[in-house]
A and B are shown apart, each in its own frame.
Chain A
Amino acid sequence: MKGLRWRSERRLRGIRVPRPFDLDAFCAEVAASRGRPLIRRPVPGLAAEAPCGMWIATDRADHVFYDPGTSPLHAEHIVLHELAHILCGHSGSAGAFAQLFPDLDPATVRRVLGRVSYTTEQEREAEMLASLIRGRSAPPPGSIGPLADAFGFLE
């Protein structure tokens, strides 16, 4: 388990996180780093009998779906969890998505990962990384920011 935190912290060092946190800016950052569009879509009722978030990678773009029927912070976290899968380079199966997206051709889908529970190592890693991205306090802006972050004082 110690490895999970260590691995997540190491991954985080290579990721530019906007401070204060801005999901749009972070999505743009991830999209730019992958060189392909990242499309974020709310799917009401996604969590009823299925994952509350899902990442589908096709040949052309990354699609992140989330259930908007929750609080804004939680919805943001669900998206971050899916982005964490992308950043960790996780792989999933395309088995579950056909039930949710019957109109989508399975041949065009490269990866599917949903946020259901934290029982697998990939899910735990994605959850930990998402928590480290969003759960930390934002240092104040300007040149004082890095110092405030290093010494642990807040505005």
Chain B
Amino acid sequence: MIFDAVLLVVLWGATLVRLPTLLRDGRQQAMWACLCAGTLAETFTFPPVARATGWPILAHLFAAVSTFMLLRFLALITGRDIGRWQWALAGTVLVTMVALDVVAGGIGPDATRLSGRLPPAVVAFWLVLDGYLVAVLTSGSVLFLSVAREAPTGLPRFGLRTIAAGWVLIALSAGVTTIPTVLSGAGVPVDFSGVESPSRYLQGAGTLLAVGGALVPAGRRSRVVLAEYRSLLALRPLWTAMRDAFPEVILFSPRRAVVEMAGVDDVRLRLYRRVIEIRDGMLALRPYLCGVLPETPEAEAAAIAQALRRRATGMPPSGASPGFAPVGPEMADEVAWLSRVSRAYRRRAVTAPAAPTPRPSGSTR
């Protein structure tokens, strides 16, 4: 019971965490749908929930839907889409399961809780469900293992292999119950209690591995996200100065951006917006620059402070703008340079009373 509860907590946690990915493309949506349907399947298998609902078939149907969504995800990452026959096959599997459930007078929540000689409808039900599950999970495992060779070494490769191992265990769990089910249907006496524990633990461990494997690459990503957060903070003084001077170039306030940019790559998107909005402000400020082209972050921060002051006090544009220091073409170059300028600007703003916060007004553009 504790194992089942832990499994559910992990699954619901992962499902909720990935909710914003629904905003992205079909791959992300298929991946989330697979996870969500799998979580619902495990939820309806959980004994208290299963007893409360009294519909064990729900868990099996969600398992089949989750498997289909996994198939769709695999098709999308390999650059294809699900063919009509695969939609038809999934539909046939679901309809057949419901029909066999009706014919058998209700299928139990777990094949391992069966006993005695099984009627053909029950055997057919488990053959259809487990056959579909094993076929999709096996092809998925093979695909992930082959693609994992191309993955960056370390956590990403380990994560993909862990997912594949998880699917292999779930497929094994299905196989472990299918064989005695078929034998029982053929009249061979089978003791299902002997396969109950191994099957349940194989399935649970497989699910944990698959979900854990999907989270493993996030370990590497988390370092990048942390660095991006630091850059966001570093850029804030310069961004605030531009926002105060040119509020019309700000797409979202920082709080609003957390919501609007939520999802995959959200911090990077916010960082990108911050860079663009700073550059928008600098472009609008360019006519007020004077002197020579700044070559150091300190010189650029001083030039910005002076231009903001000129504009805020109503002085006319200088007429001979030297422009700003040239920066490399990549976002990393921009972030590195502007972070240094921003730090220099903050030090200057704190120490120099001659650089007041500019008053908000319209754009010069």
Contact = CB atoms under 8 A, between A and B. Distances in A.
Determine if chain A interacts with chain B: yes
Interface of A: 1-2, 4-6, 9, 12-13, 47-52, 67, 69-74, 76-77, 116-119, 124, 127-128, 131-132, 134-137, 140, 142-144, 146-155
A144 B283 contact: no
A153 B155 contact: yes
A71 B335 CA distance: 12
B160 A147 contact: yes
B286 A72 contact: no
Interface of B: 23-28, 31, 73, 76-79, 144, 147, 150-152, 155-156, 159-160, 214, 217-218, 220-221, 224, 248-251, 256, 260-261, 264-265, 268-269, 271-273, 275-276, 279-280, 282-284, 286-287, 317, 323-324, 326-331, 333-334, 363-365
A138 to B, nearest CB: 10
Given A117-B249, A131-B276, A154-B221, A70 B283 contact: yes
A153 B150 contact: no
Contacts of A4: 260
A73 B251 contact: no
Given A52-B280, A143-B150, A154 B224 contact: yes
Contacts of A124: 251
A9 B25 CA distance: 8
Contact of A118 (B147, B160, B248, B275): B248
Contact of A116 (B23, B25, B156, B365): B365
Nearest to B364: A49
B276 A142 contact: no
A2 B261 CA distance: 10
10 contacts: A13-B26, A70-B324, A73-B276, A74-B276, A74-B280, A124-B251, A135-B268, A135-B269, A136-B264, A144-B151
Contact of A48 (B24, B264, B265, B287): B287
A136 B217 contact: no
Contacts of B326: 71
Nearest to A80: B276
Contacts of A116: 248, 363, 365
A48 B273 contact: no
B272 A1 contact: no
A1 B255 CA distance: 13
A113 B166 CA distance: 53
Contacts of B156: 148, 151, 153
B70 to A, nearest CB: 12
A128 B330 CA distance: 19
Given A4-B260, A117-B249, A154-B221, 15 more contacts: A70-B324, A71-B334, A72-B328, A73-B327, A74-B276, A116-B363, A116-B365, A117-B363, A118-B250, A118-B251, A135-B269, A143-B78, A144-B151, A146-B77, A149-B27
